[in-house]
Structure 1
Amino acid sequence: MPLLPLLMLGLGVAAVLVLLVLALSGPSAQRASARRLTSLRDRHMVSANGANAMEAQLRRISTTQASGFDLTFARLLPNQEQLEKRLAMTGKSWTLGQYGLATLGLALAVAVLLLFEGAPLLLSIVFGLFLGLGLPHFVVGFLIKRRVAKFTATFPDAIDLLVRGLRSGLPITETIGVVGFEMPGPVGEEFRAISDKMKIGRTLDAALQETADRLGTPEFQFFTITIQIQRETGGNLAETLNNLSDVLRKRAQMKLKIKAMSSEAKASAIIVGALPFIVFGLIWSINNEYMMHFFTDQRLIVTGGGGLIWMALGAFIMAKMVNFEI
């Protein structure tokens, strides 16, 4: 069986299935929380000249330590800061240079493989760029989503530990360090990073806000704003954090209920979306010469492209139907 049609079929199946899975993977509260938190965060942010100077100094240090390929790849990027933020959100020590090498290597490998199989030059370049740019982006997004999910699941337990430390008489800065060493996984890593930043002179508000901007989760934004408001207005911080922990647990329960209620619709959408490709593959295994017309006949190519567009529209509509903001 020729490799090129099989590869094109596999890419089409993967593209539509990935679109369905990502579109129906559940509601994202980032947009709604950003609208609700931006105005409140702007009112209660404390700007410090010393913190800004420290950030500039750390940025210069990190720039001087970067490799030459990192700097070269960074100059070619239209949005370097966004990619650096995504790589930091994975929890891995990946650099821009490593990400660029993986992208270029994968794109070249796919393009050369298709050229050796007799594919046209333009088609080989397009598919090479598609996989070279898409696969690393998908892997980074998957790692970010998995790490954020782990962080959100154990974050209320970290707040409970903070509450116990505050009630025992420890200050908030010392309690954050204790949480960093006691909690496992992403929560412990982030709290240790906050404690380390405060040890080198960063203020608590600046360290919390930097972590909140990098994580991008509404739960940590709530935590950051709660501490900022309490430091300005006073009050019982332990009781406030205890209430926040209860709210975050109820929020997680509501998400699970919505996921359970919409799981049937998501499963049906994935099955319906995969069925045309499954039938296509079964017919191909029986008579591949008959299905080759979809890659040679212009009328069938246009028909297949139109079908993919309509399936994408259907996936988008179904995603909107099961999308709920909490």
Structure 2
Amino acid sequence: ADTIQLISNSLRSGLSLLQAMDLVSKEGAPPISEEFARVVREVGLGISPQEALQHLVERVKSDDLELMVTAILVQYELGGNLARILDTISNTIRERVRLKGQIRTLTAQQRLAGYMLAGLPVFLAGVLSLLQPRYLAQLFEPGPWILLPIAATVMVVFGFFVIGRIVNIEV
């Protein structure tokens, strides 16, 4: 989001898009500065800015970067105020990051409960094997009840993954 804001401010101050990307390559933090330096080099070697930006999207797998490049490419085709578009994208990305943090905070209790529920059978089996070794050993003797520990393990693992999917909210 900071890189997009830097490009937007550079455009607003009168720089071209290529000059703004060059500024990002010099002023930004790696690894994004290195990627924009590569885009500027590609354009200097005769590749069109649109193609160089497409190469950037192919190299860097990021939904946010793809959104920015798509906006730039649409602006190349249709025109418009790119600085304002990039400001909107930057604000959207910041809001998404804020929401992800808020969701992570709100689901922390559920994640902890999931970990505790997944670990509880293992903990209880350990305590039982220390206090009454024969009690737990009967489950592992030959017979149809040998399926009980296997079924319990499968259900605990399944429950752990289900709880993980429930608390993993996509923004």
1:216 is displaced (CA, Å) by: 3.2
1: CA distance, partners of 2:134 / 2:43: 67
* Identity within the alignment, %: 26
SS at match of 2:107: helix
1:299 is displaced (CA, Å) by: 5.5
Aligned residues: 171
Alignment partner, residue 153 of structure 2:
308
Q: 1:287/1:191 Cα in 2 relative to 1: closer, same or farther (>3 Å)? A: farther
Task: Give 5+ residue unaligned stretches, structure 1.
Answer: 1-155
Q: Residue 185 in 1 paired to residue 23 in 2?
A: no
Runs of 4+ in 1 over 4 A off after TM superposition: 281-301
Q: 1:244/1:290 Cα in 2 relative to 1: closer, same or farther (>3 Å)? A: same
**Of residues 249, 260, 264 in structure 1, which corresponds to 2:109?**
264
**Of residues 137, 151, 158 in structure 1, which corresponds to 2:3?**
158
Alignment partner, residue 233 of structure 1:
78
Q: 1:311/1:216 Cα in 2 relative to 1: closer, same or farther (>3 Å)? A: farther
Residue 103 of structure 2 aligns with an amino acid whose one-letter code is I
Structure with more contact order per residue of length (Cα contacts < 8 Å, sep ≥ 6): 1
1: CA distance, partners of 2:41 / 2:140: 58
Alignment partner, residue 53 of structure 2:
208
Alignment partner, residue 222 of structure 1:
67
1: CA distance, partners of 2:147 / 2:45: 61
2: CA distance, partners of 1:201 / 1:297: 75
State the superposition RMSD in angstroms. Answer: 3.0
1: CA distance, partners of 2:139 / 2:52: 56
Q: 1:189/1:312 Cα in 2 relative to 1: closer, same or farther (>3 Å)? A: farther
SS at match of 1:307: helix
2: CA distance, partners of 1:209 / 1:295: 59
Is residue 22–residue 37 contact of structure 2 (8 Å, CA) maintained in 1?
Answer: yes
Q: Which has the larger radius of gyration?
A: 2
